[in-house]
């Protein structure tokens, strides 16, 4: 899993940035500078960028404008103003339009090529605005119909998308196109302004599609990477691994070093595939965040396991109610106790998973099922945490410092005698009221009532475990 995550990250690592200035014609470079000044005046988010991000953005803008000139010059270089230096194709004009015979000039005869070029320029210069057919997508040759613009954003795709949102990128694209359109007379020849506008709009659409692709890829990379980190973290914590590496991964996922958390485990509703499952996970995260919490989601065997940090307070039952609809109705949902830190996270995750395993021993299951509800069953499953909890919180409290403590002796005798007050009093040679007092006292110190059959079973299991561990 870690190798897959590393390979995914490698696909989106920062590519080698452009270190040389983009070779823009002077007229266009002046326009870009004017656009940057207007950006700084009109867009608050642009003003808030640091110098490095602004330089990054400048390279992207200049690359986009340069690529537009290069692309359109292959289609119809004659549309550019004479003051604009377009030398990428050395006078190869019109070869990107349908129906243009690019081989009509004699390529072996320089003078013929020159005559043809001068003739074409003369015809263009003396053409009236209405004599030229307006440019449309139908006029563009197939090889130029969908220009590749993805590389514009490959200066640093992931870094760029962290600093600037997709909405801001679209706003920026619209802004640059507006600036170029307002100054189209400085770019296009007289009579060719509309062609230039059409080309700008067409190319900006392709840039917008590329921006959406880059942002979607970046979001997918981050989402897939986070999902793998979450799954790996949940798996390690369930195995009891609380090393520095696990702490570092949780920090990458936005968790602080000090936190309180509880775990939730259950079977999710049936899903038709990975897409619907991913959507359910996203909806669970949103539901948790709506209550002010944060969560990690993973899988253990057939269970969906969530580790929830209720950062702004709230009880585990509140969070369960927020996400209950995503769990199967015919299966229990178990909740671990609230604990602190990495060790606590490992504890509550194991408690939730083992509680779900132990739930098959019970009838009339509560929903949600708290881990304390199945302590004896968890102990029988071999859950060392459950055994330790029964020993520390029940047996040790009853015993105190004396193995002959009357509370422990009375409760043991009462449970062994079939919950009979009289039989217990006779065996201990005390009055039944003494037995009642001691049983009441045991409820106060342990929280478990021996008069309740289920809680009596918890107490009996705790005493048996205590006697074995003390031996």
Question: What pLDDT, on a 0 to 100 scale, did the predictor assign at position 272?
Answer: 57
What's CA 42's distance to the chain center, in Å? 32
Lowest mean pLDDT of 30-44, 211-225, 446-460, name the range. 211-225
Q: Is 115 helix (H, G, I), strand (E, B) or coil?
A: helix
Q: Is the CA virtual torsion 127, 128, 130, 134 positive or negative?
A: positive
Kind and range of the H or E run holding 443 = helix 432-446
Give alpha helix (H) positions in 164-271: 166-182, 193-238, 244-252
Question: What pLDDT, on a 0 to 100 scale, did the predictor assign at position 220?
Answer: 58
More confident position, 393 or 111: 393
Question: What pLDDT, on a 0 to 100 scale, did the predictor assign at position 297?
Answer: 92
Q: What is the pTM of this model?
A: 0.58
Q: Inform me whether the pLDDT recorded for 142 exceeds 60.
A: no
Confidence of residue 29 (pLDDT cuts 50, 70, 90): confident
The percent of residues in the chain predicted with pLDDT above 90, rounded, is 39
Note whether 307 and 237 are within 8 A (CB).
Answer: yes
pLDDT tens digits, 409-418: 999 999 999 9
Note whether 368 and 335 are within 8 A (CB).
Answer: yes
Confidence of residue 1 (pLDDT cuts 50, 70, 90): very low
């Amino acid at each position: 899993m870690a190798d897959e995550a590393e390979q995914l990250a490698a696909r989106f690592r920062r590519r080698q940035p452009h270190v040389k200035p983009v070779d823009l014609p002077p007229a266009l470079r002046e326009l870009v500078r004017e656009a940057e000044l207007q950006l700084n005046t009109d867009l608050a988010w642009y003003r808030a960028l640091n110098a490095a991000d602004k330089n990054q953005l400048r390279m992207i803008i200049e690359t986009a404008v340069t690529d537009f000139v290069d692309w359109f010059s292959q289609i119809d270089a004659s549309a550019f103003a004479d003051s604009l230096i377009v030398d990428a194709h050395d006078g190869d004009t019109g070869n990107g339009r349908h129906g243009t015979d690019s081989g009509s000039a004699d390529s072996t005869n320089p003078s013929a090529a020159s005559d043809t070029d001068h003739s074409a320029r003369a015809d263009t210069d003396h053409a009236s605005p209405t004599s030229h057919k307006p440019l449309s997508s139908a006029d563009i040759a197939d090889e130029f119909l969908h220009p590749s613009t993805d590389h514009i954003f490959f200066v640093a795709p992931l870094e760029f998308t962290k600093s600037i949102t997709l909405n801001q990128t679209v706003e920026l694209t619209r802004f640059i196109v507006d600036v170029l359109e307002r100054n189209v007379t400085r770019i296009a020849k007289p009579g060719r302004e509309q062609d230039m506008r059409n080309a700008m709009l067409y190319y900006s659409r392709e840039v917008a599609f590329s921006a959406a692709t880059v942002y979607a890829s970046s979001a997918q990379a981050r989402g897939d990477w986070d999902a793998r980190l979450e799954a790996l973290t949940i798996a390690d914590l369930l195995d009891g691994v609380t090393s520095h590496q696990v702490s570092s991964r949780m920090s990458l996922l936005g968790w602080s070093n000090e936190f309180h958390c509880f775990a939730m485990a259950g079977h999710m509703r049936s899903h038709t595939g990975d897409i619907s499952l991913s959507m359910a996970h996203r909806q669970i995260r949103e539901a948790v965040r709506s209550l002010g919490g944060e969560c990690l989601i993973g899988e253990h065997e057939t269970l969906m396991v969530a580790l929830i940090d209720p950062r702004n307070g709230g009880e585990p039952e509140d969070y369960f109610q927020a996400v209950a609809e995503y769990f199967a109705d015919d299966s229990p949902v178990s909740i671990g106790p609230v604990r602190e830190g990495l060790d606590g996270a490992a504890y509550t995750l194991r408690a939730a998973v083992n509680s779900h395993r132990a739930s098959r021993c019970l009838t009339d299951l509560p929903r949600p099922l708290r881990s304390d509800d199945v302590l004896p069953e968890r102990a029988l499953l071999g859950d060392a945490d459950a055994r330790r909890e029964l020993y520390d919180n029940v047996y040790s409290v009853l015993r105190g410092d004396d193995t002959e403590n009357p509370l422990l002796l009375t409760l043991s005798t009462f449970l062994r005698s079939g919950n009979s007050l009289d039989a217990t009093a006779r065996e201990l040679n005390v009055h039944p009221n003494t037995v009642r007092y001691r049983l009441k006292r045991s409820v106060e110190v342990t929280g478990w009532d021996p008069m309740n059959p289920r809680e009596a079973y918890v107490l009996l299991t705790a005493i048996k475990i205590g006697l074995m561990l003390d031996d």
